[in-house]
Structure 1
Amino acid sequence: MSDLRATHAEPRVLWRDPLFLVAVAAGLLTWAVLYFIQQPAVQWNWPLVRPWQFLLPVLLYPIVEEIVFRGLIQELVRDTISRHSLGPLTIANLLTSLLFTGLHFIYHTPLWAALVFFPSLVFGFFKDRTDRLVAPIILHVFYNAGYLWLFSAPQ
């Protein structure tokens, strides 16, 4: 496992990892499907007009959340409670994702908060796969950017 972790941990190598590319493609596909289902009135240039309203949740929040949830909590659960897996997902990832999702109910609608569970599993999977936070942070930034750009434009 250490060879796999060393191989897939660096950003320049991540782009050659087929599973990482699937995770990126899943984000693009999800945005497209949600866009056509919801038909949001998108002001396409809003991140340029209000950069801090875009940059904080796109850059700062994912970094802090990944350090706390994948870097601290997931590792703590893995080291103290369980190193077991259910298929490709560790128990630590599942429990951390449940907590991560639960906290999103505080400031999201129930549907959006519940949907956070799936990307959280992806972030945790890549934390387990690489034993580093690079891939989860990159994916979290990418997922937040698409979501915010399409569905959180200021009115």
Structure 2
Amino acid sequence: MAKQQSSMRLNPYDDVLVQPSTVSSVAIQSLTGSSAVEGDAIDTITTFPAESAMIHVRAEIASGSPSAAAVAWKLQESDSPSSGFADAKDNTGTVIGETLNVKTAAKDSYARVEGFRLNRKRYLKVVFTPAFTGGTGPAILAHAELIGVPTNGAQYPVRTSTSNT
């Protein structure tokens, strides 16, 4: 009897979810001024059905020659996609996020997020808040993405029969 072939693959391409954090459908943000920029809500049940996630944030070197430049990011959560967002906290009660000093070098930040469908609320969003001292029209390019494993360890079927590489 011939061995049956599975259409499932155990590799990062097929078993990992990636969801960019966007603001009005734009993934890379140009942050200026000092006001918070709130990302669009990400639905952790339909759009990003993961068990847990890693958030990756990237902020580039500030333009405009400021004497100081930073961007703070944090994760917020809510039961509604349009209101009621509050800071998401880790198991120690600390807000999930970090402040990145990007005056002289680009920075990456990573955070682990767990508890989807347990103690985490359904909708998540990333909030960026820039801070500058001096400079001429300073700005920071920033991007965030969620990277996760499909719920219940369920593997997704092969997405295509040909390689995309």
Does the TM-score normalized on the shorter chain lie above 0.5? no
The structure that has the greater radius of gyration is 2
TM range (shorter): under 0.3
TM-score, normalised via structure 1 length: 0.26
Structure number with the higher strand fraction is 2
